Amino acid sequence: MTPFLRVAILGAESSGKSTLAAALASHFGTVWVPEYLREFVDTTGRVPREDDQYQIALTQMAREDAAARQATRFLFCDTTPLMTAIYSRWYWSRVDAQLSVLERRHDYAMTLVTAPDGPWEADGLQRESAAVRQTIHEQVLQVLDERAIGYTLVTGSLEERLMQAVRLLTFIH
């Protein structure tokens, strides 16, 4: 098996995580892991409850592991359990013990954070508002800083974000 690096793509709602993950996977000829939360909302027809959070994060990680068998050079992960925990803190002011363990296993070769600098777009049940998006963005940066997790903020259009990320990724691998 060819060694590859896992790349976490974090960011608030409607900040371009999925679009960037797909573009990076296409650019590097590899796979990406879509955000399971989107599928959860689509299949259940509701937003998650607090007791769904751990299973959502666990499924996200299982899908990363499954995609890893097909990854070459990079595996792009559209969100991680860290984002699930941030949203748990936002909605319920806490993170359950099992999710807390998962969120601390942030072992990615690189973490990209998508800036909320594009237009906010409603997306069914999953999205709240531009104001919530900005607050969550600030919380993402705060958590990464508190945990001394290095990250790169990608900004601008998709082409600009792609160029920023490709430059960094080409340098590390």
Tokens of 22: 């797909």
Q: What is the pLDDT of residues 35-82, one digit of tens each?
A: 999 899 999 998 899 999 999 999 999 999 999 999 999 999 999 999
Torsion angle (degrees, nearest 10) of CA 67, 77, 86, 135:
-150
Percent of the chain with pLDDT over 90: 77
The candidate with the shortest Cα–Cα distance to 36, out of 5, 69, 6, 66, is: 66
Q: What pLDDT does residue 52 have?
A: 96
pLDDT, position 3 = 80
Q: What are the extents of the domains in the chain?
A: 4-172
Beta strands in the chain (DSSP E): 4-10, 31-33, 73-78, 110-114, 152-154
Q: Is 95 helix (H, G, I), strand (E, B) or coil?
A: coil
Q: What is the pTM (predicted TM-score) of this model? A: 0.92
Q: Which of helix, strand or coil describes residue 56?
A: helix
Tell me how far apart the alpha carbons of residues 45 and 66 are, in angstroms, rounded to a whole number: 25
The architecture in CATH of the region 4-172 reads 3-Layer(aba) Sandwich (3.40)
Would you put residue 11 in left (φ > 0), alpha (ψ -120 to 50) or beta? left
170 and 132 Cβ atoms separated by less than 8 Å: no
Give the tens place of pLDDT for each residue, 74-116: 999 999 999 999 999 999 999 999 999 999 888 899 999 999 9
